Amino acid sequence: MNETIPKTANSQAVGDEPPVLECIGVERRFGGLVAVTGVDIEIRKGEIFGLVGPNGSGKTTLTNAITGFYPPSKGRIRLDGRDITGTAPHKVAGLGVARTFQNLALFNGMSVLDNILLGRHIHMNPGVVRTALYWWLARPEEVANREIVEEVIEFLQLESIRHELVDGIPIGLKKRVELARALVAEPHLLILDEPMAGMNQEEKEYMARFILDARAERGVSVLLIEHHMDVILGICDRMLALNYGEMIASGIPSEVVKDPGVIKAYIGDGHAG
Amino acid sequence: MFYRQSGVRHNSYSSDRDLFPIPADRYALWFFLALGIAAPWLIDGLYLNSYMLPWLLWTAAALGLNLLTGWAGQMHLGYAAVMAVGAYSTVHAVRFGIPWEFALLIGGLSSSVIGSLFAVAALRVKGLYLAITTLAMQFVMDWVLNHSPAISGGSHASLQSPTFALLGQDITSDAGLYYVALGWCVLVTIFLLNMRRTGLGRALVAVREKDFAAAILGVNSFYYKIIAFATSSFIAGVTGAILVATFYFLASPEQFSVNVSIQVLAMVIVGGLASIIGSYFGAALILLMPGIVNGLFAGFADMVGLQFGPETLAHIPNAAYGALIVIFLMVEPMGLGKIYGNIRDYLLVWPFDQMKK
């Protein structure tokens, strides 16, 4: 596998530690349809790994396989050296995987603050008795987690909207709230499914900076699905291109985007070469 | 103007999570609590025990169902059956010689166990299917009560409740029984108020709104649905037991029949899903409105000198009461709690409406 994907260009990656995420020959079928097949990924600590591909190429299916929504039909998935193939989503979250969704999955009836606090769920221990005796049992835990949440709120500059209902804020901020919710879980691996879809250039730059800062300050490894090639080129250490569920190119972004197969898949035949 | 927010500052995260940060809300709360405590001196004993007491108890019941339907988003059409489990086990436990405090606990826990057992079976299905499954549970419970004299108390299917007592004191006075109902309703309310600001409440709402998003945050939706069923069943069981002990004085199956389940659900929906104050309004409307509409209508008929047959007198108020529910829900589908919220929001900035964001 190390022969196919060259060593990272990222100076922060540590060579000796086990990779944060390892996918080996992952395949997922829906009946006769092969959504993803033979995908190998290795994400090292502190790395931002890009995943690109035309619509329907299996990017989201792959993330769903990793997070346990669609267990792979074949292949293994390892997180921090531990096999998590087929583990239920809520357990995968507990093991240190956080993700955001392409179409946003915020809880609209709740405030921004409550949404982000839910990101702390795996670190909290809510219960009926604790709730009944809030003043004695639940309050210390709530306040301690609130402090961590506030750090992230400050980091992502969400202070002014923390008490707003999620329903009423613009989409660029919603994406940021979702990133905040994923970050407060203190994940080892952060999966971002098109975090910049529908954003303008300025919002995109903000988001790219937040992702870079999150890595620098929190040491999180990122699997980034994106269609914006400028973003991939700008912040990813390595990348993988999928087409019809198969790997067509992988390696350092500046080289992958020159790959004739990638250009053909993305733009069409006429522009290749 | 009335709900002044100026001067409300938070210096700590725990004060930011206070139940009622705005002083006006706190004053209103203390005022109504004081009214509730003073009620035995303000209201005639008959009204106290035939209107106030059942209103408080049905509010507690509606709050329990609201936890399940409003917060966790699980339909339940067999709520009265769960109340019956609590009522019957408590009364049997007391007749066996167990003091009321423990008997109520036993009633709540047995409701909890049976309610969650049904939930385990029911939670493999969602939405309307869950509604029908819980409805089946109601009918099974009706059948069991009607066909097992050992539970329902012999051929007349009625079970005399022993004299209610707490801490060794018999409670028989109107005021005493009323205070028991008030105390229980306040306890349930406090629990739900706290639930709104803890991880439990957030997890339940997460399960209700988007279970896949809840899962990715580490919320085990099956576990939290069971927790919701168990907690709401516990509240149902204890409420059912107190209802029998302080209001009906004997337990019989028709007190917990399917139309009671529908009535509690109506209280929750008319009051507003996931609204605490709404459950108070909803219970009041469903419980007290028929009588009030009746009185109003009879008064109106007298005033204009119209003569109605007894049949018409019985049916027109029913129709008016039904129409009232429809009108309330058309004006505000989120229920009476939301209407209250709208009025409060309006008064928040009144008379400076232009400063509304």
Q: What is the pLDDT of residues B84-97, one digit of tens each?
A: 999 999 988 988 88
Q: With a cut of 90, say whether residue B112 has pLDDT above it.
A: yes
In this prediction, residue B158 has a pLDDT band, given cuts at 50, 70 and 90, of confident
Q: With a cut of 80, say whether residue B317 has pLDDT above it.
A: no
pLDDT for B201: 92
- pLDDT tens readout for residues A221-250: 999 998 888 889 889 999 999 888 888 888
Q: Which of B3, B61, B47 is CA-nearest to residue B235?
A: B61
More confident residue, B136 or B320: B136
Give me the sign of the Cα torsion angle B213, B219, B220, B224: negative
Nearest CB to A67: which of B14, B194, B216? B216
- Helical segments of chain A, H only: 59-67, 89-94, 112-118, 128-132, 134-137, 139-155, 171-184, 201-218, 229-235, 253-256, 260-266
List the structure tokens of A163.
């008490």
pLDDT for B179: 92
Q: Which of B225, B188, B214 is CA-nearest to residue B104?
A: B188
Nearest CB to B209: which of A107, A119, A127? A107
pLDDT for B145: 84
What are the extents of the domains in chain A? 1-96+187-273, 108-186
pLDDT for B156: 65
pLDDT for A12: 46
Q: For residue A88, give the chain B residue with the closest CA.
A: B215
More confident residue, B64 or B326: B64
pLDDT for B182: 94
CA distance A203 to B4: 37
CB contact under 8 A, A99 and B216: yes
In this prediction, residue B356 has a pLDDT band, given cuts at 50, 70 and 90, of low
List the structure tokens of A69.
């929504």
Instruction: Measure A110 CA to nearest chain B CA, in Å.
Output: 8
Give the CA distances from residue B177 to residues A170, A223, B1, B242, B249, in Å, rounded to whole numbers and listed in that order.
53, 62, 39, 9, 11
pTM greater than 0.95 = no
Q: With a cut of 80, say whether residue B357 has pLDDT above it.
A: no
- pLDDT tens readout for residues B265-304: 988 988 988 899 999 999 998 888 878 887 888 788 788 8
Q: With a cut of 80, say whether residue B3 has pLDDT above it.
A: no
CB contact under 8 A, A128 and B220: no
CB contact under 8 A, A108 and B209: yes
CA distance A199 to A228: 10
CB contact under 8 A, A106 and B212: no
| Cβ atoms A214, A190 nearer than 8 A | yes
CA distance A155 to A153: 5
Q: Which helix (H) or strand (E) holds A99?
A: strand A97-100
State CA A16 to chain mean position distance: 23
Over chain A (273 residues), what is each successive 10-residue block's mean pLDDT?
43 62 90 88 91 88 91 90 89 91 88 92 88 88 91 91 89 90 92 88 90 90 90 91 88 86 78 50
Q: Which helix (H) or strand (E) holds B33?
A: helix B23-42
CB contact under 8 A, B206 and A118: yes
Instruction: Measure B278 CA to nearest chain A CA, in Å.
Output: 17
List the structure tokens of B309.
């047959």
The residue behind tokens 């609130």 is: A146
CA distance B75 to A97: 32
3 state DSSP class of B289: helix
* CATH superfamily for domain A1-96+187-273: P-loop containing nucleotide triphosphate hydrolases (3.40.50.300)
| Cβ atoms A47, A221 nearer than 8 A | yes
| Cβ atoms B217, A114 nearer than 8 A | no
Q: Which of A256, A187, A252, A248 is CA-nearest to residue A40?
A: A248
Angle at B333 between CA B332 and CA B337, to 5 degrees: 65
ipTM higher than threshold 0.90: no
List the structure tokens of A266.
């993305």
pLDDT for A16: 61
Q: What is the CATH number of domain B21-355?
A: 1.10.3470
For B166, phi then psi, to 5°, come to -130, 135
More confident residue, B197 or B118: B197
The residues pairing with B159 across neighbouring beta strands, listed in sequence order, are: B251
CA distance B21 to B224: 29
CB contact under 8 A, A105 and B205: no
**DSSP assignment letter at A165:** B
Q: Which of A99, A81, A108 is CA-nearest to residue A24?
A: A81
What are the extents of the domains in chain B? 21-355
When scoring B192, B198, B209, B223 by the number of chain A Cβ atoms within 10 A, the one with the most, hence best to mutate, is: B198
Q: Which of B104, B99, B102 is CA-nearest to residue B235?
A: B104
Instruction: Measure A153 CA to nearest chain B CA, in Å.
Output: 14
In this prediction, residue B13 has a pLDDT band, given cuts at 50, 70 and 90, of confident
In this prediction, residue B355 has a pLDDT band, given cuts at 50, 70 and 90, of low
3 state DSSP class of A202: helix
| Cβ atoms A158, A173 nearer than 8 A | yes
* Distance, first Cα to last Cα, chain B: 16
Instruction: Measure B217 CA to nearest chain A CA, in Å.
Output: 6
Contacts 24+ apart (CB under 8 A), B102-110: B103/B241, B104/B238, B104/B241, B104/B242, B105/B238, B107/B237, B107/B238, B107/B240, B107/B241, B108/B234, B108/B235, B108/B237, B108/B238, B108/B241, B109/B234, B109/B237, B110/B85, B110/B86, B110/B237
